[in-house]
Structure 1
């Protein structure tokens, strides 16, 4: 049955975080030896900041405590998250619930940016802070927070720019990982409109669609 499994091919077009649900999926299908899947998961997790998940996976494989280097990495990850949260304090003050209504209603990125600068003293460098924060949270497995900040970034940058494209990819991945399929489908449609139709982009979109389609079907196939 493993000869029909496309996980390896699909995962080559995905980032490490999106590979993990695929490994979880084939694990319950009993296609491969469980320990070999855990070892693959361990290798994938080493490339992320999800150190607790990595440590638990290591214990499941070897029935012993993980290497000290992983514990050292955990301290660095926590420090990075704390620094990020401190940097975001001014941003959190600006983007209250009321401000988010304005963000949602305004369709022109330049007009919205000007409005935020005038009313709330928003600074352009805060865009970079939010984008960098989204990366930190995403890599640590906090996909909900990552999605929130990327949604704001996408609203504030001009469509067609690299930053808008990066934010669109990141938000789609985040919504898939929290299994928010309605939002993910909406983000997928926006991304299809935004990308320059290069082969790699098209294959990545098809791969993400396959994940979404599989999970949508699983909700009905009990």
Structure 2
């Protein structure tokens, strides 16, 4: 299963602290040699100020060796730096902890700075010291403290570049502390910042503005996986975001492997969307995703994307069954998808049943059970629940003596067919318009440049 693991690919687009959970997951599933994973953890940890953590990893890798003296010096340096940065930021910390100041601050940052300067003698350098202290707390592993300091810095600062860096740092801190509601708000805010930035604010000497924005969105897509697969409404929100023309173009251009997560989110959402409570875009997302899977097949494919292709393009139920067997293992081993294994399998079987029933009027329950990788008894229970929970109840009748399902469908009104075809044409027209409007830019290697100042300098 190591050939199907995307951890190495995804880590290239993460801050080093966000990579630690993925590596810890790899030690649990044991698809790579444990020594190699621990070595990767150690190499990442050496670049942080989490000295004790790095020492523990060194001892696990080298149980017979003495701890290098450099760790002692690094620990002393980290402690002294922390004390110095705290003293530099203390003046701002004392002020922002004052309830009167919180009530006096307004939306206008320039006005706030003048108020703080007139009443508390705070300068821009002192406010920047708060950013430096928050950044150091992040490298220290104090993610909760880092989130607080970076948030307060962002409230006061007028430096756009540092504010953007603080956005990324706070998002990473919220992810690492598991505050998913707050992380979702931060993710949406950061996405608005990236999407709304003018070309002049993105210009660098290294690359064109549009390419910088593309890299920023690519990184945001990868970071958002933590939020979307932990927040209760995350899968639906993922579909709404990733299927928008801007981010769908980003995925197709820079990171086609994200199609695994897009396809999985669609599969996980399909059953609940049919039952109600989800938007039309979610209900019809699989159709759009299948088209993208076909288009990007030359760049990326795996058992999850192949499952949808075999089911909805080839209508090969035996091939879909084989792909689902492998996809179950892929999902189970994936860091982001592992906890959804049972739900994924249940929804995938629903999709097979839905497609199978759509093209047959008389279905042998035993044959359908086999295609779902279920025993005869399990298949019968599955079919009964399927008919009870879906709109098939009015059209399908079960004949237990013959062990078959009889389906009598009402012909689809012609206007409904026109609506479905028009919806597809509108989507393709929108995608073509966005592609034609996009200016040509010089090519670049994917993942080679970090569009943001990541808090810990993971690059």
TM-score, length of structure 2 as denominator length: 0.45
CA contact (8 A) 1:175 1:183 kept: yes
- Alignment deviations for residues 17-38 of structure 1 (CA, whole Å, 9 cap, x no partner): 1111111122222222222111
Is this contact kept in 1: 2:181–2:231, CA < 8 A? Answer: no
What is aligned with 1:199?
Answer: 214
Which piece of structure 1 moves more, 116-125 or 166-175? 116-125
Tell whether the 8 Å contact from 1:94 to 1:120 is kept in structure 2 after alignment. yes
CA distance in 2, matches of 1:172, 1:76: 27
Counterpart residue number, 2:369:
none
- Measured in 2, the distance between the counterparts of 1:82 and 1:193 equals 35
Matches within 5 A, 1:64-79: 64-79=65-80
Question: Given the alignment, which residue of 186, 207, 211 partners 2:226?
Answer: 211
1:78-93, aligned counterparts within 5 Å? 78-93=79-94
Bigger radius of gyration among the two: 2
**1:148 matched residue in structure 2:** 148
CA contact (8 A) 2:144 2:177 kept: yes
Q: How many residues align?
A: 220
Counterpart Cα distance in 2 of 1:100 and 1:147: 20
| Distance in structure 2 (CA, Å) of the matches to 1:5 and 1:220 | 16
Q: CA deviation at 1:106?
A: 3.0
C-alpha change, 1:216 and 1:30, in structure 2 (3 Å) is farther
User: Secondary structure of the residue that 1:88 maps to in structure 2?
Assistant: helix
Does 2:121 correspond to 1:109? no
Q: Distance in 1 between matches of 2:7 and 2:189?
A: 26
Write the deviation string for residues 58-94 of structure 1: whole angstroms up to 9, x where unpaired. 1112114421112211111111111112222222221
Q: Whose helix fraction is larger, Structure 1's or Structure 2's?
A: 1
Equivalent position SS for 2:58: helix
Superposition pairs of residues 15-164 of structure 1, within 5 angstroms: 15-63=15-63, 64-96=65-97, 98-99=99-100, 101-102=102-103, 106-158=106-158, 161-164=160-163
Residue 296 (structure 2) aligns with: none
Higher relative contact order structure (alpha carbons within 8 Å, sequence separation ≥ 6): 1
Summarize deviations over 1:93-125 as a string: whole Å, max 9, x none.
Answer: 21115157438x732222222232233332221
User: What TM-score does the superposition give when structure 1 sets the normalisation length?
Assistant: 0.89
Q: Pick closer, same or farther for the CA change 1:215–1:23 going to 2, 3 Å.
A: farther
**Distance across 1 between alignment mates of 2:229 and 2:49:** 27
Task: Name the SS of the counterpart of 2:152 in structure 1.
Answer: helix
* Cα displacement (A) at 1:3: 1.3
**Offset, 1:129:** 0.5
1:9 equivalent in alignment to 2:24? no
Deviation at 1:220, TM superposition (A): 7.1
Moved over 6 A (4+): 217-220
Contact 2:135 2:150 in 1 (8 A): no
Looking at structure 1, the residues matched to 161 and 15 of structure 2 have their Cα atoms a distance apart, in angstroms, of 18
Q: Following the alignment from structure 1 to structure 2, what is the Cα–Cα distance between the partners of residues 32 and 176?
A: 25
Q: Distance in 2 between matches of 1:54 and 1:99?
A: 42
Question: What is the alpha-carbon root mean square deviation over aligned residues?
Answer: 2.3
Cα distance in 2, alignment partners of residues 34 and 215 from structure 1: 26
Distance in 1, Cα, partners of 2:87 & 2:157: 23
- Tell me if structure 1 keeps the 8 A contact 2:89–2:127: no
Alpha carbons of 1:215 and 1:60: their partners in 2 closer, same or farther (altered >3 Å)?
A: farther
Residue ranges of structure 1 left out of the alignment (5+ in a row):
none
1:175 corresponds in structure 2 to 174
- Looking at structure 1, the residues matched to 12 and 101 of structure 2 have their Cα atoms a distance apart, in angstroms, of 36
